Amino acid sequence: MAKRKLVLENGKVFRGEGFGNPGKTIGEIVFHTAMVGYQEIMTDPTNHGRIMLMSYPLIGNYGFTEDDNQSLNVHISGLVVSEHNENPSNFRFTTTLGETMELNGTVGLSGIDTRALVKTLISSEKPLLAMIVDDEEDDEKCVEELRNTSCEYNPVKAVTCKRVLYMRTRNPQYTVVAVDCGVRASLIKELNALSCNLVVVPYDTSAENIMKYKPDGIFFTNGPGSPYTNTSLIELVKELKGKVPILGIGLGFHIICVAYGLEALRLSSGVAGSNIPVLELSSGKILITSQNHCFEISSKNVEKSNLEVTYKNVMTGGLEGIEDEANGVIAVQFEPNATGDGTGGEVLRKFIQLMIARGGAENAEENRY
């Protein structure tokens, strides 16, 4: 394999071997602590354009299976691992990790000290841009290029659906409009399993057009980037609040909180993992959650916002969930599921109860497409 390297904008260089696509890539580097799920991570629109560092040492040992993708494409621009495996032992696999990356133009780097790199990212005072490139390229020129690279764009625009999509389920009872900021397929499946027909609309759809679908509820999805680059979505929340129940997850949580007057703070290294402990205030239970975000919501001014805090991060005490009972609005920073292990399933069930309380089950049959 070709000798390649990872160059950080702070001047640090990590040398290893290339795999996947042999090209050059630049992006913000983020580390993920999950031991499994690299396929879901790579196809998650929330990771659009990122260089993803996997802290677990062996990646690729069960290959890629199309049925497990979170979207149609691989969204990361680069993958950094300690060791990658091209001989998967999973009978379901359709392509290997390297083959998938070649097909999607994704650049890979293996054979580096990923523990040292994670420590570097954690100790950084700000998010870092990185470059994967051939080892023969001059280090100083690579650093200079990184420092002159601007990442000022709205990734939601890149990942949102280009037209209205209908995600149907058997025997539907509710119609939910999903405002697509970069929704994961697993969340669509969760709501389908709870008898919701989903109408997935582009992120810039107007409130008027959303209400034409006679929704029982509206879902502001997860996605990449900052809530502040999506002022139209913040205004959309304000316009729709109180008309029908609203659910927000991930970026949707941040957008809803900002719409209520709270502040979103940029994290230096972000939070990406499947083992984040969250306290459910109503029950005292500790949930082990999956999260993926680079912002957190400040608890300042919560009392003035008319929001009730429903979940908190066990390690930091930060906000993880809010509710506006009067207007039927709930949102969480983590990914809930009512099927599977049921982690945070109460969030989705509460959304269903809010739709029932406000009429519910009247439009789904009419909107069976």
CATH code for the domain in which residue 37 is found: 3.50.30.20
- One-letter identity of residue 59: I
The reply to whether 25 and 172 lie within a common domain is no
Residue 171 lies in a domain: yes
Note the pLDDT tens digit of each residue in 203-219: 999 999 999 999 999 99
Question: What amino acid occupies position 81?
Answer: V
Last residue within a domain, chosen from 93, 122, 147: 147
Categorize the per-residue pLDDT at 341 as very low, low, confident or very high, splitting at 50, 70 and 90: confident
Does residue 365 form part of some domain?
no
- For residue 358, what pLDDT is reported? 84
Q: What is the pLDDT of residues 186-208, one digit of tens each?
A: 999 999 999 999 999 999 999 99
How far is residue 244's CA from residue 222's CA, in Å, rounded to a whole number? 19
Specify the pLDDT at position 175: 96
Asked if the structure places residue 273 within a domain, the reply is: yes
Note the pLDDT tens digit of each residue in 229-266: 999 999 999 999 999 999 999 999 999 999 999 999 99
pLDDT score of 282 more than 60: yes
Cβ–Cβ < 8 Å for 46, 182: yes
The pair of three-digit structure tokens given for residue 305, joined into one six-digit string? 């916002």
Q: Angle at the Cα of 367 (from 365 to 369), degrees rounded to 5?
A: 115
Could you tell me if 15 and 87 lie in one domain?
yes
How many domains does the structure of the chain reveal?
A: 2
- The percent of residues in the chain predicted with pLDDT above 70, rounded, is 97
pLDDT higher than threshold 70 for residue 103? yes
Is the pLDDT assigned to residue 132 strictly greater than 80? yes
Average of per-residue pLDDT across 53-74: 95
Structural domain boundaries, residue 137? 3-147
Residue 138 lies inside a defined structural domain of this protein: yes
197 and 89 together in one domain: no
Q: Which of 344, 342, 338 is nearest to 321 (CA)?
A: 344
Residues 228 and 322 in one domain: yes
Q: What is the pLDDT of residue 368?
A: 54
For residues 327 and 294, state if they share a domain.
Answer: yes
Taking phi over 0 as left and psi of -120 to 50 as alpha, with beta for the rest, 42 belongs to alpha
Residue 339 shares a structural domain with residue 209: yes
d(CA 195, CA 204): 26
Whether 133 is in a domain gets the answer yes
Last residue of one domain, picked from the residues 98, 129, 147: 147
| Beta carbons of 326 and 243 less than 8 angstroms apart | no
Mean pLDDT of 114-131: 96
Rounded to 5 degrees, what angle do the CA atoms 221, 225, 230 make? 70
Nearest Cα to Cα of residue 177 among 194, 157, 197: 197
Residues 118 and 207 in one domain: no
Strand 3-8, strand 217-220: pairing:
unpaired
Query: Per the domain annotation, does 94 fall within a domain?
Result: yes
pTM of the complete model = 0.94
- Residue 362 covered by a domain: no
* φ, ψ for residue 199, nearest 5 deg: -110, 110
Residues 143 and 177 in one domain: no
- The answer to whether the beta carbons of residues 280 and 42 sit under 8 Å apart is no
What's the rounded mean pLDDT across residues 340-352? 91
Q: Are 13 and 135 in the same domain?
A: yes
Q: Does 332 lie in the same domain as 188?
A: yes
- Degrees to nearest 5, angle at CA 42 with 153 and 78: 65
The answer to whether residues 121 and 221 belong to one domain is no
On the question of pLDDT at 346 being above 70, the answer is: yes
At 361 the pLDDT is 59
List the one residue out of 45, 35, 116 whose CA is nearest residue 74: 45
**Lowest-pLDDT range of 3-7, 257-261, 267-271:** 267-271
Give the per-residue SS3 of the chain: CCEEEEEECCCCEEEEEEEEECCCEEEEEEEECCCCCHHHHHCCHHHCCCEEEECCCEECCCCECHHHCCCCCCCCCEEECCEECCCCCCCCCCECHHHHHHHHCCEEEECCCHHHHHHHHHHCCCCCEEEEEECCCCHHHHHHHHHCCCCCCCHHHHHCCCCCEEECCCCCCEEEEEEECCCCHHHHHHHHHCCEEEEEEECCCCHHHHHCCCCCEEEECCCCCCHHHCHHHHHHHHHHCCCCCEEEECHHHHHHHHHCCCCEEEEEEEEEEEEEEEEECCCCEEEEEEEEEEEEECCCCCHHHCCEEEEEECCCCCEEEEEECCCCEEEECCCCCCCCCCCCHHHHHHHHHHHHHCCCCCCCCCCCC
Shared domain for 110 and 171, answered yes or no, is: no
Give a yes or no: residue 72 inside a domain. yes
Q: What is the pLDDT of residue 150?
A: 83
Give mean pLDDT, residues 350-360: 90
Q: Which whole number is the average pLDDT over 3-10?
A: 97
Domain of residue 173, CATH code: 3.40.50.880
Last residue of a domain, one of 101, 131, 147: 147
Query: Cα dist. 202→38, 153, 261 in Å?
Result: 27, 17, 24
Q: What is the pLDDT of residue 223?
A: 97
Query: End-to-end alpha-carbon separation of the chain, Å?
Result: 51
Name the residue with higher pLDDT: 300 or 366.
300
**pLDDT attached to residue 32:** 97
